[in-house]
C-alpha cells in the first residue's frame, strides 16, 4: 500500500505574527518558516506505517513556490520516499488545494491519504474533508489512533465530547490531531540522504486544474488588545477584586 | 435569501451552541431554516420548533445519521442545498467534520470559524492563532460557513412555533461506520458554555492534582479545562484542551493555574471577560493577558482559594 501525505509550509509555531501597517495581510518577510506541526505528525504516522510493514511507499506532496521544497525535504528526512511539488504562486484556497490533491490521488492511487487537521496559519481545518468529498471517499478527521487491517482502517477521533472510533473502507483520508504520535527528529545522515531522494515538480496545468478563488481577503487587522492587568499580593486580595471590582463571583 | 443551519444535538437534546449559530444566521438576514438530522431525534425537532428565530424545522430521521457520519450527513445537506443562499454549522468537531464536505460538493469554499457578520457576503475570522483577524468576502453562489459560538450571543429558545417537515431520502454512503465512543461524563457545565472556567496546565504535575481545581470549580459552578501540555502528559482527557487547536472559550471568568500562556493557549481563552492567572513564575506570558495575576505556588494558593470561597 502506498501512503500519500500532504504537507504545508507555514510560519514557525513559536513566532507571533504581525499585521502589515497597510492592513493588507500579515507580514511574513524574514519570518521563520517550518513544516506545519500537524503535517509533521502526518508524515510520522505514514513513516510508522511503512516501518510496520503496512505501507510500502510514502509520497509527500506540497503545493506552493520553490521555497516549500524545504518542507518536502524535511519530510523526506523524516523517512518519506519521494516528493511532489505542485508549482503555484500565492497560497491557493483550500478548495483549489483539494482539487489539486484529488488529481495527485488519482495518479498515485494511495490506500491512505494523511493530512494535518489544520494549518496553523489559516486555521481553516477543511482541506482533508474537501479532498475526501471530491474523491467520494470516507474520512477520519482529528485522528488520535489509526489501525489499518485488510482493506479497512479504524480511526479514533478526538471529538468535543471525548473520543469516537469509526471504520472506513479504503482508500480513506485521515487528518491528524496532536495525540496521534510524537514526531521524531531527523538524524543528520537522513537529512543528507533526503537531498538525493526524488522530487518531481508539476504544474496545475499538468493536472488539468485551474487555480482561482472566489474569496477575497479585504483586510487583516490585529485583534483587540487586552488592557494590562494588575498583580495581586494574596489570595484575599484576589477574592476581594473578583467580588467587588470585577463582580464575577 | 434563506439560510440553512444544521443543528448540533445528540438525538435527545439540542446543543446550546446551535442557538449561537442561529444568531449568526439572523445577523446575515432573511429566513432561517434548521435541519435536525439524526436517528430518533423527534424530541430535538420539537424543541427546535420553539425557537422564534427559526421559520421552519427540517428533520431527517434515519440510522444513517445517528452518529453524524460526515459521509452521510454531507450528502443529505447537498440534497437540499439548492434552496439556500447560506449554509451554516457550529465550528464544533461535528460541524468541522461534515461541512467542508458540503462545500466541496457544492464547488465552493468554506469560510471557517467566523466571529462576525459584516454583510451577507463578508465575514471576519481569526487566523494565525487569533493573532490577526481577517475580513473575507465570498463571491460563491452559496456561502458555506462554520460559526464560532462564543462570538455570538444565543438567540431565544422559546416562544416560537415553526412548522416541522421531513426531508430527504436516507443517504447512506456505505463507506464508513460507527464503531464506538468514549464520552466524558461530567456533572459540571460544558466547557464552551460555562460562565466560569478553571484550567490547569503542566504545573499541576499530575492528574490527581486536578482534584484541587475540581473543588474550586464545584464552588464556582465552573467547568474545568486544560492546556495542551496537561493533555499530552495524560493528566486529563483531550476534550478538556483549550486553545488554537482545542476548544474556544470566552467565559466571564477564566482562571489559568500553572499555565505559561503560549500563543496557542491564549488563542482559545483571551476573549474571556476576566482572566486570572496563578503561576509561580512572574515572567510567565500569561500575566500579560491576565486582569489579576497572582505570583504564587499553586499548591498553596489553590487550596487557600477554595477554602475562602
Ligand atoms: C500545533 C500546535 C498546537 C497547539 N495547540 C495548543 C492548544 O490548543 N492549547 C494549548 O494549551 N496549547 C497548545 N499548544 C502547545 C503550546 O505551544 C504550549 O506548549 C502549551 O500551551 C504549554 O502548556 P502549559 O502552559 O501547561 O505548560 P508550560 O509551558 O510548561 O507551563 C507550565 C507553567 O506552570 C507553572 N508552574 C509550574 N509549577 C507551578 C506551581 N507549583 N505553581 C504555580 N505555577 C507553576 C510554570 O511557571 C509554567 O509557567 C500547541 C502547540 C502546537 C505546536
Chain A residues lying within 8 Å of B308, measured CB to CB: 235-236, 239
pTM: predicted TM-score of the whole model, two decimal places: 0.98
Q: What is the mean pLDDT of residues A131-143?
A: 98
pLDDT in tens, B127-147: 999 999 999 999 999 999 999
Return the percentage of chain A with pLDDT > 90, whole number. 97
pLDDT in tens, A59-93: 999 999 999 999 999 999 999 999 999 999 878 99
d(CA A166, CA A164): 7
Closest CB to A161 among B183, B228, B305:
B183
Closest CB to B97 among A129, A169, A216:
A129
pLDDT in tens, A35-63: 999 999 999 999 999 999 999 999 999 99
pLDDT in tens, B41-67: 999 999 999 999 999 999 999 999 999
Q: What is the mean pLDDT of residues A1-5?
A: 98
pLDDT in tens, A156-173: 999 999 999 999 999 999
pLDDT at A4 over 90: yes
Closest CB to B292 among A221, A226, A229:
A229
pLDDT of res. A90: 75
pLDDT in tens, B237-284: 999 999 999 999 999 999 999 999 999 999 999 999 999 999 999 999
pLDDT of res. B82: 97
**CB spacing of B291 vs A246 below 8 angstroms:** yes
pLDDT at B69 over 90: yes
Return the percentage of chain B with pLDDT > 90, whole number. 98
**pLDDT-derived band of residue B298, with 50, 70 and 90 as boundaries?**
very high
Q: Kindly report the CA angle at B74 between A135 and A99, in degrees rounded to 5?
A: 30
pLDDT of res. A199: 98
DSSP-H helix ranges across A139-234: 188-194
CB < 8 Å & 24+ apart, contacts of A243-247: A246/B253, A246/B273, A246/B274, A246/B291, A246/B292
ipTM above 0.90, yes or no: yes
A 216-245 residues with CB < 8 A to B: 216-223, 226-232, 234-236, 238-239, 241-242
Q: Which residues contact B263 (CB under 8 A, 6 or more apart)?
A: A16, B129, B131, B244
Closest CB to B122 among A218, A228, A236:
A218
Look-up of cell digits 464547488: B107
pLDDT at A227 over 90: no
- B192 half-sphere exposure, CB direction, 13 A CA radius: 26
C-alpha cell read off for B10: 445528540
pLDDT at B124 over 80: yes
Three-class DSSP category at A207: coil
Chain A residue with Cα closest to B103:
A130
Please work out whether the CB of residue B227 comes within 6 Å of at least one atom of ligand 1. yes
Dihedral angle over CA of B202, B207, B212, B216, nearest 10: 90
Give the number of other Cβ atoms within 10 Å of residue A1's Cβ. 16
pLDDT of res. A89: 84
Three-class DSSP category at A163: strand
Distances (CA, A) of A31 to A15, A227, B304: 8, 27, 44
pLDDT of res. A191: 97
> Rounded to the nearest whole angstrom, what is the distance from the C-alpha of residue A180 to the centroid of ligand 1?
19
Backbone angles phi and psi of A19, in degrees to 5 = -90, 140
d(CA B147, CA B15): 14
- Residue A17 near residue A152, CB atoms below 8 Å: no
d(CA B293, CA A153): 48
Chain B residue with Cα closest to A160:
B239
- Ligand 1 atom having least distance to the Cα of B298: 42
Q: What is the mean pLDDT of residues B164-193?
A: 94
Instruction: Number of A to B CB contacts under 8 A, please give it.
Output: 261
With b for 16 or more beta-carbon neighbours within 10 A and e for fewer, the B97-112 pattern comes to bbbbbbbbbbebbbbb
E strands present in chain A: 2-7, 9-11, 18-19, 26-27, 33-35, 57-64, 82-87, 112-116, 139-149, 152-159, 162-169, 172-176, 199-202, 215-221, 230-232
Distances (CA, A) of B170 to A230, B39, B249: 57, 11, 35
Whole-angstrom Cα Rg for chain A:
21
**CB spacing of B112 vs A125 below 8 angstroms:** yes
pLDDT at A112 over 90: yes
C-alpha cell read off for B168: 430527504
pLDDT at B285 over 90: yes
**CB spacing of A179 vs B96 below 8 angstroms:** no
- Residue A104 near residue A92, CB atoms below 8 Å: no
Look-up of cell digits 491576565: B290
Distance from CA of A233 to the nearest CA of B (A): 7
pLDDT of res. A168: 98
Q: Work out the mean pLDDT of chain A and round it to a whole number.
A: 97
| Full DSSP string of chain B | -EEEEEPPB-SSSB-THHHHHHHHHHHH-SEEEEEEEESS-HHHHHHHHT-TT-SEEEEEE-GGGTT--HHHHHHHHHHHGGG-SEEEEESSHHHHHHHHHHHHHTT--EEEEE-EEEETTEEEEEETTTTEEEEEEE-SSSEEEEE-GGGSPPPP-SS---EEEE-------SSEEEEEEEEPP-SSPPTTT-SEEEEE-GGG-SSTTHHHHHHHHHHHT-EEEE-HHHHHTTSS-GGGBBSTTSB----SEEEEES----HHHHHHHTT-SEEEEEES-TT-GGGGT-SEEEES-HHHHHHHHHHH-
Please work out whether the CB of residue B13 comes within 6 Å of at least one atom of ligand 1. no
Distances (CA, A) of B243 to A3, A80, A246, B123, B265: 30, 30, 24, 22, 4
> Which run of H or of E encompasses A238?
helix A235-240
Please work out whether the CB of residue B269 comes within 6 Å of at least one atom of ligand 1. no
Bridge-based pairing of strands A162-169 and A152-159 is antiparallel
Amino acid at each position: 500500500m502506498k501512503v500519500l501525505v500532504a504537507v504545508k509550509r507555514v510560519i514557525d509555531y513559536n513566532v507571533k505574527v504581525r499585521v502589515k501597517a497597510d492592513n493588507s495581510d500579515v507580514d511574513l518577510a524574514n519570518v521563520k518558516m517550518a513544516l506545519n506541526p500537524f503535517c509533521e505528525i502526518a508524515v510520522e504516522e505514514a513513516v510508522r506505517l511503512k516501518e510496520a510493514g503496512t505501507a510500502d511507499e510514502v509520497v509527500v506532496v506540497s503545493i506552493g513556490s520553490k521555497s516549500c521544497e524545504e518542507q518536502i525535504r524535511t519530510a523526506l528526512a523524516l523517512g518519506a520516499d519521494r516528493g511532489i511539488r505542485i508549482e503555484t504562486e500565492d497560497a491557493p484556497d483550500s478548495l483549489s488545494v483539494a482539487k489539486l490533491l484529488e488529481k495527485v490521488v488519482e495518479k498515485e492511487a494511495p490506500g491512505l491519504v494523511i493530512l494535518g487537521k489544520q494549518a496553523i496559519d489559516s486555521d481553516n481545518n477543511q482541506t482533508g474533508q474537501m479532498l475526501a468529498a471530491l474523491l467520494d471517499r470516507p474520512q477520519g478527521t482529528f485522528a488520535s489512533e489509526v489501525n489499518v487491517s485488510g482493506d479497512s482502517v479504524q480511526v479514533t477521533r478526538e471529538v468535543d465530547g471525548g473520543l469516537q472510533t469509526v471504520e472506513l473502507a479504503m482508500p480513506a483520508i485521515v487528518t491528524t490531531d496532536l495525540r496521534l504520535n510524537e514526531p521524531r527528529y531527523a538524524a543528520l545522515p537522513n537529512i543528507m540522504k533526503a537531498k538525493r531522494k526524488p522530487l518531481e515538480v508539476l504544474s496545475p496545468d499538468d493536472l488539468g486544474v485551474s487555480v482561482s478563488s472566489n474569496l477575497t481577503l479585504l483586510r487583516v487587522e490585529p485583534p483587540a488588545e487586552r488592557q494590562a492587568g494588575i498583580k495581586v499580593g494574596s489570595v484575599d486580595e484576589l477574592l476581594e477584586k473578583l467580588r467587588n471590582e470585577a463582580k464575577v463571583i | 435569501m434563506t439560510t440553512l443551519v444544521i443543528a448540533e444535538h445528540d438525538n435527545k437534546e439540542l446543543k446550546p451552541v446551535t442557538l449561537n449559530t442561529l444568531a449568526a444566521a439572523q445577523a446575515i438576514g432573511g429566513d432561517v431554516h434548521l435541519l435536525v438530522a439524526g436517528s430518533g431525534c423527534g424530541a430535538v425537532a420539537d424543541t427546535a420548533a420553539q425557537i422564534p428565530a427559526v421559520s421552519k424545522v427540517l428533520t431527517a430521521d434515519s440510522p444513517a445519521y445517528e452518529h453524524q457520519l460526515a459521509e452521510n450527513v454531507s450528502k443529505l445537506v447537498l440534497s437540499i442545498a439548492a434552496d439556500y443562499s447560506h449554509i451554516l454549522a457550529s465550528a464544533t468537531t461535528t460541524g468541522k467534520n461534515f461541512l467542508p464536505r458540503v462545500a466541496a460538493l457544492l464547488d465552493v469554499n468554506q469560510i471557517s470559524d467566523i466571529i462576525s457578520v459584516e454583510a451577507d457576503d463578508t465575514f471576519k475570522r481569526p487566523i494565525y492563532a487569533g493573532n490577526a483577524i481577517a475580513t473575507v468576502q465570498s463571491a460563491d453562489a452559496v456561502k458555506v460557513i462554520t460559526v464560532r459560538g462564543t462570538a455570538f450571543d444565543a438567540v431565544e429558545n422559546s416562544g416560537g412555533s415553526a412548522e416541522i417537515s421531513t426531508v430527504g431520502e436516507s443517504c447512506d454512503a456505505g463507506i464508513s461506520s460507527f464503531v464506538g465512543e468514549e464520552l466524558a461524563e461530567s456533572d459540571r457545565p460544558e466547557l464552551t458554555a460555562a460562565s466560569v472556567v478553571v484550567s490547569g496546565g503542566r504545573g499541576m504535575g499530575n492528574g490527581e492534582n486536578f482534584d484541587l481545581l475540581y473543588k474550586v470549580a464545584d464552588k464556582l459552578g465552573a467547568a474545568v479545562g486544560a492546556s495542551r501540555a496537561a493533555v499530552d502528559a495524560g493528566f486529563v482527557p483531550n476534550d478538556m484542551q483549550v486553545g488554537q487547536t482545542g476548544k474556544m472559550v470566552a467565559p466571564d471568568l477564566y482562571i489559568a493555574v500553572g499555565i505559561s500562556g503560549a500563543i496557542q493557549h491564549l488563542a482559545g481563552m483571551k476573549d474571556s471577560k476576566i482572566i486570572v492567572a496563578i503561576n509561580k513564575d512572574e515572567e510567565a506570558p500569561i500575566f500579560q493577558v491576565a486582569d489579576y495575576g497572582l505570583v504564587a505556588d499553586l499548591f498553596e494558593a489553590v487550596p487557600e482559594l477554595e477554602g475562602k470561597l
